[in-house]
Structure 1
Amino acid sequence: MTMRALLIDDNPTNLFMLGKLIQNAGISDLSSHKDPRQALDAARDIQFDLVLVDYMMPGMDGLEFIKAIRQLPNYEDVPVVMVTTVDQKDVCYAALDAGATDFLTKPVDMAEVKARIRNLAHLRDLQNKMRDRAAWLAEEVRKATHEMALMEEEIILRLARASEYRDSDTGAHVIRMARNCREIAEALGMTAQFCRDIYLASPLHDVGKIGVPDAILRKPEPLSPEERRTMETHAGVGQAILSGSESRLIRLAAEIAGSHHERWDGTGYPNGLKATEIPIASRIAAVADVFDALVSPRPYKNAWSVEDAAAFIRTNAGVLFDPQVVRAFEERLPRIVRNLSEAPDYAESA
C-alpha cells in the first residue's frame, strides 16, 4: 500500500532536508508546504498517512495546526509528528494535549528520524489493514444478516401461504392482508421497523387453522355452534405454535395469531380483550383481515363489493374495530384496493 506524507515547515531548507529524510525512509508520495493553511486544504482533499509539522511558523503554529487537522474527517488516528527544538519541553506537552503522536528535535538526527518515520509508517500501515479488515468483516456480517433476514421472511411467507391454501385456492389473501397491515401501520405513523415487522409477521395470523378439520374449514353452509367453537380454537392454536421463539418477527406473529379476533367492545375471542388491551398489531390485523376476507370469495359466501366491505369496516368502528385504525384504513383505502388487483386470488404467485 502506498503511504502518503504531509510535511509543513516555513523554512525552505528544513522543508527540503526533512522531505529527503521522509523519502529515504521509504515514503515516496510526499506533499510539502510552507503555508500551514494550504497544507490543511490539501489534507481536506487527500488522505495522508503521516504528518510532520514544525512548531514555529507564522500565521498558524504547529499546535494550532495539529488541533485543526485532528478535526478533519479520518484524521483521528493519523500519526502526527511535531518538529521542535530541544529546550521546548512545554511545547511538547502542549502538543501531546493537541494530539501529537511523536516529536523530532532540531537539529535532527538522520538515523533517528529515518527509524521513527519507518516505525510510524508501519504503525499507520497496520491501522489501515485493521480498518480494512474491520470494514470487510462488517460487510460480511451485513451480508450474512441480510441473507438470514431474507431466509426468515421467505420461511414465514411460505408457511403462511401453506396454511392459507387450505382456506382458499392460492393463498393470495395473506399477501394482500400483509400489504394492507403495512399500509394501515404507515398511516398510523408507526416506525419503519414496526411497519416492516407487521408486514412480515401478519401473514401467519391464521396458521392455527391447520388444526381445524377441512369439513369445517371448507363447509359451504353456516357453521353449527359446536363447529364455530372448533373454528375459534385456531387463534389459540396459532399462538401456541408460534410462542416461545427468539425471533422478534415470530413473537409478533404469535401475538397477532392469538388476538386478531378480539373485538374493540370486548366480545371477541379467545380472551375477550377490550379496546387498548388488544395489542396494536392485532387491532391493525383485524381490520386488514376482515376487509380482505369480505371482498374475497369463500366456500360459504360470495365476494362483497369494495364499497360494501369498506362500509362494514366504517360502521363497526368503535364496536369491532379500533376507531383510529379504521381512520387509517380509510386514508389508505385507494392503495388497499390496488393491492386487490396486484395480488388477485386467481394469481399463482404474488
Structure 2
Amino acid sequence: MVQRHKILAVDDEPSNLQIIRLLLKETYDLAFATSGEEGLVAATKHQPDLLLLDVMMPGLNGHDLCRTLKEDPRTRSIPIIFVTAMGDVEDEQKGLQLGAVDYITKPISPPILKARVATHLSLYDHNRTLENAVAQRTKELQTSRLKVIQRLGRASEYKDDETGAHIIRMSHYSRMAALSAGISQEEAERLFNAAPMHDLGKIGIPDKILQKKGPLNDEEWALMKRHPVIGAEIIGEDDSELLRDARIIALSHHEKWDGSGYPHGLAGEAIPFKGRIVALADVFDALTSKRPYKEAWPMHRAMKLISEEAGAHFDPMLVKAFVKVEKHLRWVLDKWGDKK
C-alpha cells in the first residue's frame, strides 16, 4: 500500500482550513492548526511532507513561523507554500526569500492548489530519494575507507611478531582514554578508526630488525626510529580528517612528555593530543601482551608502570583519565587478549 503524504495547513480562519480539507482530503493525510504557535508545535511533532501556511495571523505570523522552521534542522527541509490574500509582488518575493517554495493567493483556486501541492510533493520525494542515495553512497565510501585503513594497519603488524588483535585492543584503549579525558564522541570515534595506522611505517623497516630477538644495536635502532616518519609519508597530506588524524598519530606516537621520545623530541603539549593518547594505549597493550622477548604482564603491574611514567613518558592528565577506565580496559583485554 502506498503511503499517503502528510500535509499541515496553518490558518487562523477556520473557513480557509475547511476549503483546504475539502480539496485535499481524498488524496492526502491532513492536519490543521489555527495559529502560528500551534503550527510550530505540529510541524515539529508530526514532520509533515508539506506545509500550507497563511501569512497574516495574530501572534506568530506566517513569515515568522517560516523563518523559525527554516532555522531548525528538524524542520528545515519541509517545503512551505504560502497561501495568503497578500498578492503584491513584494509580498511574494519576501515569502520566497524566507525559504518558501511557492506562493498561492486567496481566494484559493482549487485547480491551482491541487497542481502546486502535487508538484512540490513530487519534487520533495525526488529530493529525498537523491539525498538517501547520496547518504548511502557516502556511507559506502566511508566504510570502504575504514576497511582500507584497517587493512593497512594489519599490514604493518605482519612485519613483526605482534598479532592483529594488537590494533583492535589499542584502538579501543585509545577511544576509552579519549572519552575519559573529555574528548567528544565524534572525535573519539575518529581516533578509534585512525589509531590502527600508528605503526604503518614499519612497512619500510627491514624484517631482520623488526624480527630480531635480542636488543637492537645503534645502527639498527636508528633505522627503527625512522618508522614514524615513514608512516606519515605513506599516509601523506589529505583533506580527510580521518587521514589527517592517522598521519599525526603515526608521526607522534613515540614522542614522550619529557621530550626524550622520537622522531622530533617533542615535549609536553607540543606533542599532538591524539599522539599522546595512542602512545599511552600502545605501551599499555605492549605491556599486557605476550611478545617473543617477554611474557604478558598482569594488568595491575602494567597500570603501576603507566602511573609511574606520568610526567616522564606520558601526559599526567591522560594517565589519570586512563586509570579511571581501568575496568573497561580489562574488558577489552579479556575479550581480545592473546590466547593462552
The TM-score with structure 1 as length reference comes to 0.75
Mark the runs of 5 or more structure 2 residues left unpaired by the alignment.
70-74, 96-102
Task: Give CA-to-partner distance per residue, 1:200-253, whole Å, 9 cap, x none.
Answer: 001111111111222211211111122211211111111111122332211211
- Structure 1 runs of 4+ aligned residues shifted over 4 Å read 1-11, 26-32, 43-53, 72-76, 95-100
Aligned residue number for residue 104 of structure 2: 101
Instruction: Kindly tell me the number of residue pairs found equivalent between the two proteins.
Output: 310
Quote the Cα distance in structure 1 between the aligned partners of 2:220 and 2:289. 22
Quote the Cα distance in structure 2 between the aligned partners of 1:251 and 1:30. 49
* Shift in CA distance, 65/27, structure 1 to aligned 2, threshold 3 Å: farther
Aligned residue number for residue 71 of structure 1: 65
Aligned residue number for residue 88 of structure 1: none
SS of the counterpart of 1:190? coil
* Shift in CA distance, 287/150, structure 1 to aligned 2, threshold 3 Å: same
Quote the Cα distance in structure 1 between the aligned partners of 2:334 and 2:318. 23
Quote the Cα distance in structure 2 between the aligned partners of 1:279 and 1:50. 49
Which of the residues 125, 128, 132 maps onto 2:121?
A: 128
* Shift in CA distance, 80/46, structure 1 to aligned 2, threshold 3 Å: farther
Bigger CA radius of gyration: 1
SS of the counterpart of 1:78? strand
Deviates more, 1:323-332 or 1:128-137: 128-137
Q: CA deviation at 1:173?
A: 0.4
Quote the Cα distance in structure 2 between the aligned partners of 1:143 and 1:205. 29
Asked whether 1:345 is paired with 2:306, we answer: no
Asked whether 1:151 is paired with 2:144, we answer: yes
Provide the alpha-carbon RMSD of the alignment: 3.9
SS of the counterpart of 1:307? helix
Quote the Cα distance in structure 1 between the aligned partners of 2:247 and 2:47. 54
Which of the residues 281, 292, 305 maps onto 2:298?
A: 305
What does 1:209-288 correspond to in 2, within 5 Å?
209-288=202-281
Report the AA paired with residue 139 of structure 2. Answer: H
Q: CA deviation at 1:304?
A: 1.5
Report the AA paired with residue 322 of structure 1. Answer: D
* Shift in CA distance, 314/122, structure 1 to aligned 2, threshold 3 Å: same
What does 1:70-219 correspond to in 2, within 5 Å?
71=65, 77-82=80-85, 96=91, 101-104=104-107, 116-168=109-161, 170-219=163-212
Q: CA deviation at 1:101?
A: 3.3
Report the AA paired with residue 248 of structure 1. Answer: E
Q: CA deviation at 1:96?
A: 4.8
Aligned residue number for residue 109 of structure 1: none
Q: CA deviation at 1:170?
A: 3.2
Report the AA paired with residue 172 of structure 2. Answer: R
Asked whether 1:329 is paired with 2:322, we answer: yes
SS of the counterpart of 1:157? helix
SS of the counterpart of 2:263? coil
